[in-house]
Amino acid sequence: MTLPDIDTLSTLGGQLVNADPVMDATTDLDADADNKSRADVAMMTRTGIRAMRRFTGHGTTPTDPASGFVHEAMWGSISGVKPTVVRSGAGIWLLTWTATQADELGESHSLNFRAAEAWVEVTSTTFYNATARVTAANVVEVRTFTAAGVLDDVVGFNVVVLVW
């Protein structure tokens, strides 16, 4: 498997053993050293951020920020993999990624998000809050609120969403 799937040492081929003693550490890779790096990679697949999306709040149709970061994912940042953002009600946004994505080897993976986090990039003294939750394997619902806890479209402010 590869990201965004979760790996274990066994899915990466299991623990390796040197067939012969390492003769030259500058050209030969010791199995113990490779086992450590492969185990580290497998462990990082459990908690690594899968995708990020940034959008600007609007009363009807959210937009991409005028400048800076818009989206990135383990499977790329081209426009074809950018999730859609739809306003489903005051202060409620649905972010939807295509259900399957291809990795850099061309293999297809079904998304299965486990958690999400969101916040509003405030550029004034006005305070906003945001929450995020995974509602389907490839969908995240974001809610944005005023300091008083009232759902708000955060018009003109950017919302950042991280997905695991």
What pLDDT does residue 39 have? 86
Instruction: With beta carbons less than 8 A apart as the criterion, state whether 62 and 95 touch.
Output: no
Which DSSP letter does residue 30 get? -
All structural domains of the chain with their residue ranges: 10-47, 51-163
Confidence of residue 134 (pLDDT cuts 50, 70, 90): very high
What gap in Å lies between CA 23 and CA 30, rounded to an integer? 10
What pLDDT does residue 45 have? 83
Q: Where are the alpha helices (DSSP H) in 3-157?
A: 31-47
64-121 pLDDT per residue, tens: 999 999 999 999 898 889 999 999 999 999 999 999 999 888 899 999 999 999 999 9
Amino acid identity, position 44: M
Residue 154 sits at the vertex; the CA angle it makes with 151 and 160, to the nearest 5 degrees, is: 105
Q: For residue 142, with 0-12 CB atoms within 10 Å meaning exposed, 13-18 middle and 19 or more buried, which class applies?
A: buried
10-40 pLDDT per residue, tens: 988 899 999 999 999 889 889 988 888 888 8
What pLDDT does residue 123 have? 82
Q: For residue 118, with 0-12 CB atoms within 10 Å meaning exposed, 13-18 middle and 19 or more buried, which class applies?
A: buried
What gap in Å lies between CA 74 and CA 4, rounded to an integer? 6
User: What is this structure's pTM?
Assistant: 0.86
What gap in Å lies between CA 164 and CA 48, rounded to an integer? 6
